[in-house]
Structure 1
Amino acid sequence: MLSNIFTHKTLQNGIDLYICPTNKFKTISIYFFLHQNLKSETATKTALLPYVLKRGTEKFTTSRSISLFLDDLYGSGMGGDILKRGETQIVSFFMDMVHPKYVEDQDIFDKAMLVFADMILHPVKEDGGFKKDYVNQEKDVLKRNIESLYNDKFNYAIERCFQEMCKDEAYSIYKYGNIEDLDGINNKNLYEYYTDCLKSCPIDIFVMGDVNEQEITDKIEKQFYFERGKVIEVGTGFSKKEVKQERFVEERQNLNQGKLSMGFRTKTRYGDDDYYALMVYNGILGGGTHSKLFSNVREKASLAYYAFSRIEKAKGLMVVSCGIEFDDMQKTIDIIKKQLDDIRQGEITDYEYESTIKSLTNSLKEVQDSPSSIISMYLDGIINGIHEPVEDMIYKLKKVTKRDVVEVAHKIDLDTIFFLNKK
């Protein structure tokens, strides 16, 4: 079993470097994460960054020239995206390459590292900003990306539930920002914003593979050395907000299936003593075919096309989501509420409990089969101020009792019901 503990070092300019030397994989993976507070005034700019930066560097000025160079590096993969963890918006970049010992080119790591650092630190520029065409094209792409959420009713209903539930909180902001802000963004103010982010936002770099720790540290230090200033505080926005009154919000659209989302405040985050009890609670409620939602809402009552629950571990939220017939809304809400009450009363079968522990244990073990999954899980830990290997997580999970689940169930409050209805 891979004991995926990363060694933490701080570079001269304050960037945090995490290295995990392991011979489990035939690849070397490098990840770069820039953390920004999720704010309405910067969310759209932040969301544009990885897509503009991927378009070209000073040395490789087009996407095609980058692709051809990566093809020559035995099909190395490089890309970027936006993540949302609680009220933190994260610009992420990755580079995956085959380990030099499996190929003829012993310089593959240095070449890959060069183009990766170039993408992040030396983008193609024009008139003191990013290349105008690239910014305008990526603004159109981002606009379509934001609009596509409206057509994805499954995710739209969940996003809208959280937006209504967290109306006065930064968590209500969509990870890709909003269309209204795109007009005010140009190549110069976006570039200026990015250079500010590089100077002041927390940055993490992860390296995983069969590498020499000191050698990698020296190479990263050299490639990613640039002047930085005072680093800002970035938080997840976790709060133990009390729910004064349950809210109901309905939206009507032209659609052929109702989408019901129920948003809860768990008052528990990753890192809290009862977080693993919350994981088991979520698994018993709606984490698979063994769960109460699947058995009672979908199978026995035949009310839902799908029914599940999931937790947002940084912000301390949970959502229950179902696809139902329009006329079955109240009946479905009542049955879901009964499942919540049953868990509070300790009505948890051995099958539900044991299947959940087994399912969660297997999911955690599967994390260890992929560098990206390991890094993502460790990143979640850093964001929430906790560093623990998968073995420790499995140990804590298996220690959770039914009584622990009942106790955490009493902390959970239903905040908002959102129903996407037909016109």
Structure 2
Amino acid sequence: MRKRIFLIKREIKGSKFILLEEVGSLDRLFKRKTLDNGINLYIHSIDKFKTITVCAFIHQNLDKSTATRTALLPFVLKRGSHKFPSSRHISVCLEELYGADFGADIIKKGERQIIQFFIEMANPKYTASEDKILDEGLALFKDVILNPLTEGTAFKKDFVEQEKDVLKRNIEALFNDKFNYAIERCFQEMCKGEPFSVYKYGSVSDLPEIKSEDLYDFYKMVIKSRPMDIFVLGEVNEEQIYEKLNSLFSNERQEEKIASTVVVKEVEREKFVEEKQEVNQGKLSLGFRTGTRYGDEDFYALVVFNSIFGGGPHSKLFQNVREKESLAYYAFSRLEKSKGLMLASCGIDFDKLEKTIEIIKEQLNDIKEGRISDYEFESSKKSIINSYKEAEDSPAMIISLYLDGIINSVEESIQEIIEKIRNVTKEDVVKVAQKVKLDTIYFLNKK
């Protein structure tokens, strides 16, 4: 394992100290600074990309009572600000910035609901604008987040009502997307009573109660008190970026730490949940508790286990459930690494339910008993390593991986992750597999 090296440098800015911290080992990506108001700033200057990507993440504990209001905020905010009072004004500005890309959304990581804003713009060195494109892009980014368009002491009512309707349709659209609906419903049944069961966009039933005045008050509380991270990735001058963002994001804050609320439960018995709808294909989801989360010593053994189990065409689910037994139209598994869950999903004929469950359980038992071929093992590690190498070519993926690390108190580079994958043995996989327990079987059947 590489030795972790932390470099701390203190600089004078007026009467205040600015902390510059190189996060992790020498080949790690981001340097961390703290703005005067407590916002965490992560900067990685790299000439690999011809763009500059800026992301802001505002963290909130996932909670049923606030999920819908939180989900509504980014969509209302990106409708317009004081300086850019409509979507058209924002679009015109982005076009003038050589077609910059801007957006906002909600992401769910473990039991956190995170508001995300991003802007990706051309690096000024590849344009004739010098620093103008960066300054104007950052000004737009800041204005949308911190200076929303208001009417008195409320968000613009039209924006709120229109975005409530859009959010309602987005939530309802999940019902028509049977592939993802079955996965979400399995997690909901499996984690009933836990924050993780809450859908990232909240609930339609909460929308009628949300008024523009109350939502604006909620926004002010979130901006003032919730942890916020800003990432900058691209070829930039780190000190200049700090100065620009420290000046732009100078709003008064009294940050409150959000507690980790990860719920770990022992599996007492398998649950079976069946739901009937007008569908032409059965959707089977199996939820497992792995007993291992990102940050645990055996996490990367679990990553390899998941790949062997259902992580690609080399996997046991694909080869045996889909190909050999012809039981499924698709079959795969995936991890929810911040929560310690694994989900297997299949599309099957309605009369093949019992046989499919039996064969899936056999695949898990085979791994637990060490029946892992060299092909399965080596193909799994190669597939995982290639995925991480591909992530190095995507600014969004680099930032997402590092955000995962922040949430789970893990500091490691992609190269360190790859080295850990390479070091996983079959014995490690068998050992971590012993902790994997089937919790919930969810089947979407025909009426």
In structure 2, what is the equivalent of residue 290 of structure 1? 314
Question: Aligned letter for 1:140?
Answer: D
1:219 pairs with 232, 244, 264, which one?
244
Aligned structure 1 segments of 4 or more residues deviating by more than 2 angstroms = 237-240
Question: Aligned letter for 1:261?
Answer: S
Where 1:55 maps in the other structure, the secondary structure is: coil
CA distance in 1, matches of 2:370, 2:129: 61
CA distance in 2, matches of 1:230, 1:368: 32
The answer to whether the aligner puts 1:138 opposite 2:148 as a matched pair is no
2:88 pairs with 39, 64, 89, which one?
64
Cα offset for 1:3? 4.0
In the alignment, is the contact (CA less than 8 A) between 1:36 and 1:88 conserved in 2? Answer: yes
Q: Deviations over 1:26-49 (max 9, x none)?
A: 011100000000111100000001
CA distance in 2, matches of 1:325, 1:142: 33
Identity of aligned residues (%): 59
In structure 2, what is the equivalent of residue 175 of structure 1? 200
Larger RCO (alpha carbons 8 Å, 6+ apart) = 1
TM-score, reference length from structure 2? 0.93
1:385 pairs with 409, 415, 436, which one?
409
CA distance in 1, matches of 2:387, 2:155: 41
Structure 2: which 5+ residue stretches go unaligned? Answer: 1-25
In the alignment, is the contact (CA less than 8 A) between 1:142 and 1:176 conserved in 2? Answer: yes
CA distance in 1, matches of 2:414, 2:207: 41
CA distance in 2, matches of 1:4, 1:124: 39
Question: Aligned letter for 1:51?
Answer: F
TM-score, reference length from structure 1? 0.98
Question: Aligned letter for 1:119?
Answer: V
The answer to whether the aligner puts 1:194 opposite 2:210 as a matched pair is no
In the alignment, is the contact (CA less than 8 A) between 1:238 and 1:269 conserved in 2? Answer: no
Aligned length: 421
The answer to whether the aligner puts 1:421 opposite 2:411 as a matched pair is no
Structure 1: which 5+ residue stretches go unaligned? Answer: none
CA distance in 2, matches of 1:239, 1:135: 34
In the alignment, is the contact (CA less than 8 A) between 2:227 and 2:255 conserved in 1? Answer: no
In structure 2, what is the equivalent of residue 50 of structure 1? 74
In the alignment, is the contact (CA less than 8 A) between 2:227 and 2:257 conserved in 1? Answer: yes
Q: Deviations over 1:46-71 (max 9, x none)?
A: 00011000100101100011101110
In the alignment, is the contact (CA less than 8 A) between 1:309 and 1:319 conserved in 2? Answer: yes
In the alignment, is the contact (CA less than 8 A) between 1:3 and 1:390 conserved in 2? Answer: no
Where 1:331 maps in the other structure, the secondary structure is: helix
Question: Aligned letter for 2:129?
Answer: D
CA RMSD of aligned residues (A): 0.9
Matches within 5 A, 1:328-407: 328-407=352-431
- Cα 1:299–1:256 shift into 2, 3 Å: same
CA distance in 2, matches of 1:332, 1:398: 32
CA distance in 2, matches of 1:104, 1:213: 21
CA distance in 2, matches of 1:177, 1:58: 28
Question: Aligned letter for 2:174?
Answer: L
Matches within 5 A, 1:3-82: 3-82=27-106
In the alignment, is the contact (CA less than 8 A) between 1:239 and 1:267 conserved in 2? Answer: no
Moved more, 102-111 or 224-233: 224-233
CA distance in 1, matches of 2:223, 2:180: 32
In structure 1, what is the equivalent of residue 3 of structure 2? none
1:129 pairs with 154, 159, 166, which one?
154
In the alignment, is the contact (CA less than 8 A) between 1:264 and 1:318 conserved in 2? Answer: yes
CA distance in 2, matches of 1:392, 1:259: 37
The answer to whether the aligner puts 1:246 opposite 2:260 as a matched pair is no
Cα offset for 1:232? 2.9
